Structure 1
Amino acid sequence: MLRYTIRRVLQIIPVFFIATLLIFIVIRALPGDPIRAIGGERTMPAATREALIQRYNLDKSLPEQYVLYMKGLILEADMGESYAQRRQVNDIFLEALPRTARLAGLAVLFQALMGIPLGIWVAVKKDSAIDSIVLVSTIFMLSLPVFLLGSLAQVFLGVRWGIFPISGVNDGLKSYIMPSMVIAVSLMASIIRLMRGSLLDTFREDYLRTAKAKGLGRGRVFGIHALRNAMIPVITVLGIDLGALLGGTIVTEAIFNIPGIGFQITQAIILRDNTIVIGVATFLVIAYMMINLVVDLLYAVLDPRIRYE
């Protein structure tokens, strides 16, 4: 396991540099003038403009800018300074990250708590009326836009019934429950269908018939042999969803007025604030690779047949 972990980390390093290089080049090469994010519509003196260009290393070539950026990131954990906000990207990011992390974490938690049991239930009730109803419902959930579901939740759960706050984060954890459930409903359909299909495939495996023939109890056969193995692809999807949500909650954050990473990315793109976009994208690359590594390592826990050499 240790050797496998080290090998996977070593594989991640070149992928990280290639991914961040591509992100850096694409963002920096976009048309437009990032210095305008500082001055806005005001006319900027030529001397001031030149000083800002030098300050943000915009007078250097793209490879030189990338090397300087990575040097600051690796040696000092410095993501640079925002053009528009005139603050360190680290500070902006550390303010936004906890909000998005709570939103994404709760969404995946609700997705798992609702989707996995329903998937197990319909697998056990295969070809029944319940199975058909749930499968049809998942098609409806997959086709329902997040902005529509979010608006309906605000009207009924927020305004009419007053169960949750309509928007903002002033009510602590309670503020994140409704938006995270909106995301979870959109994602839950895939988990239900995946859990059902994976469990049905596992039911047909020879080792389950062998376990039953040896006289193992039904609960032991189901819980230890069937369910653990069926959970492997589900865990993979949950990990992918968590990584994707860290940077993919833009619509939800806009609907519920949550100033998280999605909000900062949107504002940075509008204002051409490249340092924020690059900094957030760099973090998402790291987070996504780390989550995938953890998911890979969980395989051995869920399925003892898997051995990492």
Structure 2
Amino acid sequence: MSHKAASFFGHSFRKASGRTAYQVLLLLAGLPLHLFTYFSYIRNGRDRQYTSMLNSVQSGLADRGQKEKWLEEYKDQLERKQKFFRENVSPADIHREAEKLADEKLSAESKRISEMRLEQTGQKKETYFSYFQSLLQKPAFLVVSFIPGFFMYVLLFLMSNPFILYIAERLVQSVGVIIGVAVLVFTILYISPFDPATNILGESATQEQISNFNRLHGLDLSYWQQLWNALKGIATFDLGSSFAGNEDVAASISNKFPVTLTIALFSVIMAIVIAIPVGILSATRPNSFLDYSFMFIALIGLSIPNFWQGLIFILGFSIHLNWLPATYSPGHALSLIMPVVVLGTALTASIARMMRSSLLEIINEDYIITARAKGLSYAQTLWRHAIGNAMIPVVTVIGLLFGGMLGGAAVTEKVFNIRGIGSYIVDKQFIPDIPAIMGGVVYIAITISLVNLLIDILYALLDPRIRSKIDHS
């Protein structure tokens, strides 16, 4: 290992160990190595300068009779306390307690004075992390420790790249969000007044049948046991079987989720292709006939209910014109057109209005006026400086609405007889079929978390302020 590599890992370790969470990760990743170096740190006399100064200060305080002074003060306090509360305490016990308090006072005061002197001289108290960092600066140590500390060095290499670290942090946050969603949904289903056994077996079911059903599906267990089983199933991708129909939940969701995801993705693509140019045209011609027309159409798009628009489409394009199939058929591309348009109408309207308002705000900023004053044409200013910055809030709206489309597509799926994840969850929630609902919600939460991660990455690409913050974090 060269001095350059040693310097690189030493700098990366110093930067990463500034945060407690990263310290824990580095300790766990290189645990065998850290166990050895920590014992070495203790055996070699950790913080030798600090320990020497501490002993010197303690000796100085003791030589000046400070400990005896504190001892007499504590003895006087304890004797007055004994008399006030009329306690029966022997003089030996009082002396022993006073000596203990005086020793603690001497130790605390010695530490305070030692740390203050080190700070005044510009020196810092040596810690294990500073000791380990000094070892990393040595190429020979890197060679010896590379195998036992392999995972730690890989982690340090990844942490040295701010953008990779930024993505990793967002992934960890996404895992936390998914766990939180799972716990919240399970808790709501657990306290729900609906009884799965009664709803599935019917009102005529005997108590023995209900008890057998609850025992078979683990509903007789405590809240914490059921929650743990649910979270364990999600972590291992073993979602179990549904209460109704005894279907494999993972297989059912894997068949239904791609349909909803496909419709949502095509709806977003349609919305972006139409809404972004419309928003730009409206913003560049404010208060014109074109602007008013586009925004009026967008307002209509926001106001139309999905189910009504879907029924009108079926009536017009399927029944009267016979252009498109009325219901969805797997593998039939034309059957996707109407659901995509219905689901994407409100999204298109929202993005167009947001793009217009965001771009109008940007083109009136001082830096845009300065760019024009420097001689850039209107088109150059618009495409180089305005549109990129205006896209930042638009990206946020797209991500939020896309997440809403995945969970809220049930109405559109019902209208067009689409067996997607939205209608699947709606059908199961009135039982309530806990494994099926948990699986569907978690799939949606994972997808939304990945979309939010993509949005964060787009933020970093679009906004130089965020890139600068990432680089200097």
Note the C-alpha offset of 1:42: 6.0
- For 2:183 and 2:407, the matched residues in 1 are separated by 19
RMSD: 1.9
Q: Larger deviation: 164-173 or 35-44?
A: 35-44
Aligned letter for 1:10?
V
1:268 to 425, 428, 431: 428
Which secondary structure state, in structure 2, belongs to the residue aligned with residue 247 of structure 1?
A: helix
Output aligned runs, 1:239-258, within 5 Å.
Answer: 239-258=399-418
Tell me the TM-score normalized by structure 2. 0.61
1:174-196 CA-partner distances (Å, limit 9, x unpaired): 21111110121122221111100
1:42-66 CA-partner distances (Å, limit 9, x unpaired): 64682x5434322321111111111
1:130-189 CA-partner distances (Å, limit 9, x unpaired): 212222222222221111111111112222222221112245232111111012112222
1:16 to 156, 178, 185: 178
Question: After TM superposition, what 4+ stretches of structure 1 lie above 4 angstroms from structure 2?
Answer: none
8 A contact 1:69–1:80 mirrored in 2: no
Q: Quick check: 1:56 aligned with 2:56?
A: no
Aligned letter for 2:229?
L
Residue in 1 that maps onto 2:249:
89
Which secondary structure state, in structure 2, belongs to the residue aligned with residue 208 of structure 1?
A: helix
Residue in 1 that maps onto 2:258:
98
Which secondary structure state, in structure 1, belongs to the residue aligned with residue 348 of structure 2?
A: helix
Residue in 2 that maps onto 1:172:
332
Residue in 2 that maps onto 1:121:
281
1:30 to 192, 199, 215: 192
> Structure 1: where are the runs of 5+ without partners?
none
1:135 to 291, 295, 299: 295
1:90-120 CA-partner distances (Å, limit 9, x unpaired): 0110111011011111111111111111111
- For 1:139 and 1:59, the matched residues in 2 are separated by 51
Which secondary structure state, in structure 2, belongs to the residue aligned with residue 180 of structure 1?
A: helix
> Structure 2: where are the runs of 5+ without partners?
1-162
- For 1:305 and 1:211, the matched residues in 2 are separated by 19
8 A contact 2:234–2:439 mirrored in 1: no
Residue in 2 that maps onto 1:66:
227
Residue in 1 that maps onto 2:51:
none
- For 1:44 and 1:97, the matched residues in 2 are separated by 36
1:181 to 341, 364, 383: 341
Which secondary structure state, in structure 2, belongs to the residue aligned with residue 246 of structure 1?
A: helix
Q: How many residues matched? A: 307
Aligned letter for 1:69?
A
Note the C-alpha offset of 1:124: 1.1
- For 1:163 and 1:111, the matched residues in 2 are separated by 23
- For 2:362 and 2:400, the matched residues in 1 are separated by 22
Note the C-alpha offset of 1:291: 1.3
> Greater CA radius of gyration, 1 or 2?
2
Identity of aligned residues (%): 34
Tell me the TM-score normalized by structure 1. 0.92
- For 1:169 and 1:242, the matched residues in 2 are separated by 23
Residue in 2 that maps onto 1:111:
271
8 A contact 1:179–1:256 mirrored in 2: yes
- For 2:459 and 2:223, the matched residues in 1 are separated by 40
8 A contact 2:274–2:348 mirrored in 1: yes
- For 2:370 and 2:268, the matched residues in 1 are separated by 35
8 A contact 2:189–2:432 mirrored in 1: no
- For 1:171 and 1:4, the matched residues in 2 are separated by 39
Residue in 1 that maps onto 2:382:
222
8 A contact 2:230–2:435 mirrored in 1: no
Output aligned runs, 1:35-46, within 5 Å.
Answer: 35-40=197-202, 43=205, 46=208
